[in-house]
Each structure stands twice: as structure tokens, then as C-alpha cells.
Copies of this chain bind each other. A is one copy, B any other.
Amino acid sequence: MNSFGRIFRVHIFGESHGECVGITIDGCPAGLALSVGDFTADIERRKPGAKGTTPRKEDDLPIIKSGLFNGKTTGAPITILFENKNTRSADYEKLRAVPRPGHADFTASKKFGGYEDYRGSGHFSGRLTVCLVAAGVIAKKLLHTIEINSAIIEIGGEKDLEKGLQKAIDAKDSVGGIVECTVKNLPAGLGEPFFDSAESLLSHAVFAIPAVRGIEFGTGFAAAKMFGSQHNDALKDVTGSTFTNHAGGIVGGITNNNELVFRIAIKPTSSTPIEQKTLNIETGEIENFSVKGRHDLCIALRVPVILEAVTAFVLADLMLIEQKIPRVIST
């Protein structure tokens, strides 16, 4: 459902064109210093405005409604809201009969019997990822000795990112990309056999990010083309350091004290300026369809900070389960 985690738990809610989106973070240790300012940097990183991202202006100020007292977390649930402003619902309402290709319009309608808030993808909107970022900010503070970094490493099939983006601009189309995440200083021993392997939990959370189509750890799909003697990482010393890191920091579902490395594939933005065909559900006719709203040419550009965030809250939960973060932070 809209919840994730065992000890450090997140509960997400809200719709793109409703009053707000929000998230409740439950199980966060007490005593963690936290202020609205802590959120600024990561929320800015997610914001549109750069080349290839939507010009829609979002005023993403986190409103902390609970769980904070005298500048520190209290151990009670932290609920954070982001108000929705500057929405233009009219852009979407006329599309009701014409499910947008690549969007959740059709599947949401099938699942929720047409009662879903369809405006701007409603609860399925990428807008909700700002909530993930907020949860990630808190998780990162808990994991302060651990360094989580994400970056786009490919756009539209190009390692030269400018070139990949230009391809989209030239074609007046949208493009996808690949985002890599690395985590340094992660202790060994995180991940729970059998079903809660580190990869299982990370991928579970990662596929909640809209537009993700694949995930691979370490050498990933390329490992399927290797010999065992090439792929195996030989131990270097008793800390668990290995000479190579094809495993990407996880063996047997458990972290091994090497750098955690994984990559995700982001599909091209479904909303593309190119005219496409789709079904008009009311008339039963195939119609030409073209998106007029404000959208990202390459949604992957906004994903790195979101990927860091989900990685952070998955790891924070595993650290709490493994008792490597205490339930009260004493300063």
C-alpha cells in the first residue's frame, strides 16, 4: 500500500492537483536535529527549471505538522505537507475520455472504478516524489556518516548528457536515461534473509518512483555475460574489502562493506510534444493526441535526488533493524 518500512516507516498521500501532497515518517529516532532549512538543498535539486525540465513552478516549502519540538525529532510521527499551487487542472480535465499513452490514466481508472482523481495523474503523479525527497532528507541525517550519491550517467542513449538532451530537443520528443546510485561507508551486515535482501528492499522502494523500468546491482545485466572467475570479487582483507566490486556491495542479499552501486532505467517522459494516437474511450475511435501541458523532456534529470532519498530511507530502516542507529540520538 502507501506505506513502506519496518521500523523507519513512511506513509505517503496526496494528489497532484488536490490541496497538497504529504508524507508521514514514523519510527524516526528521537533527538535528531531538524529544521525546514535542512530540506532546501535536496528539494531544490528536484525542482524543474533546468534545461529539459518542465517550466511549471512549484513552490515546494515543507510544512512540518507534527513530530518536531524545540528543533528536534520527538520519536512521534513526522508529518510533512507540500501545498499544491499553480496547478492548471483545466489542462487535464478535457483528457478524461482520452487516456494519455504511457500514463496511469487507464490503469488507475480500471482499478478505482473511475473514482480516482485523474487531474495531472492525481495520486500517481511524479509530484508525490517531493515527499520521498523529504523523507530522504531525514533519513540522510540519520545516516550522516554514510555518503549517498546519485547521478545521471546516460540520457537518450548518450553518455554525453548534453548531447542526449539535444537529441530530444531536436526531435521535439522526450527521452529516457539511466541513473546510478552509490553509497559509501555502509557497514556490512545490512539486509535480512530470505525475502528482505538489501536488493529486495531497495528495488521495492525504487519501483515506486514513477517511470522506473529496471534496476541492476553492481555489474548487473552485464554479469549475465561474464564467467564466474571474472565476476567473483576476491576478499582483500577482514573488513570485507574486495579487489573488484562486481557484486556492487551486496552478496547473499547482505551488504559486504564495499561501495553499494546500482543503476536504474528511466523511461522517456510519457508526455511528449510529438503527436500520438490513442483511444477515445467514449467514442471508441483512435484519435490523434498531443500534450499541451508543462512537462519534462527528460524526467530522468529530476530522478537522482529522488533515488538518493528512497535509498536513504531503505538503509535507515535496515540500520535500525540491525541496531546500528539507536532509537534516541544523544548529542
The contact sample of 15 A-B pairs, CB cut-off 8 A, is A1-B194, A11-B24, A13-B77, A15-B76, A31-B112, A101-B235, A154-B225, A199-B212, A213-B216, A213-B217, A224-B266, A226-B267, A229-B276, A323-B323, A323-B326
**A75 located at the interface, meaning its Cβ lies under 8 Å from any Cβ of chain B in the complex:** yes
**A50 located at the interface, meaning its Cβ lies under 8 Å from any Cβ of chain B in the complex:** no
**A87 located at the interface, meaning its Cβ lies under 8 Å from any Cβ of chain B in the complex:** no
Docked pose: A199 CA to B202 CA in angstroms: 12
Tell me which of B192, B231, B281 contacts A1 (CB under 8 A). B192
Is the Cβ of A256 less than 8 Å from the Cβ of B106?
yes
B residues near A79, Cβ cutoff 8 Å = 13-14, 22
Docked pose: A327 CA to B115 CA in angstroms: 11
Docked pose: A221 CA to B300 CA in angstroms: 13
B residues near A242, Cβ cutoff 8 Å = 101
Is the Cβ of B124 less than 8 Å from the Cβ of A193?
yes
**A73 located at the interface, meaning its Cβ lies under 8 Å from any Cβ of chain B in the complex:** yes
**A37 located at the interface, meaning its Cβ lies under 8 Å from any Cβ of chain B in the complex:** no
Docked pose: A218 CA to B211 CA in angstroms: 12
**A201 located at the interface, meaning its Cβ lies under 8 Å from any Cβ of chain B in the complex:** yes
Is the Cβ of B75 less than 8 Å from the Cβ of A116?
yes
Tell me which of B74, B171, B203, B281 contacts A117 (CB under 8 A). B74
Is the Cβ of B236 less than 8 Å from the Cβ of A279?
yes
B residues near A95, Cβ cutoff 8 Å = none
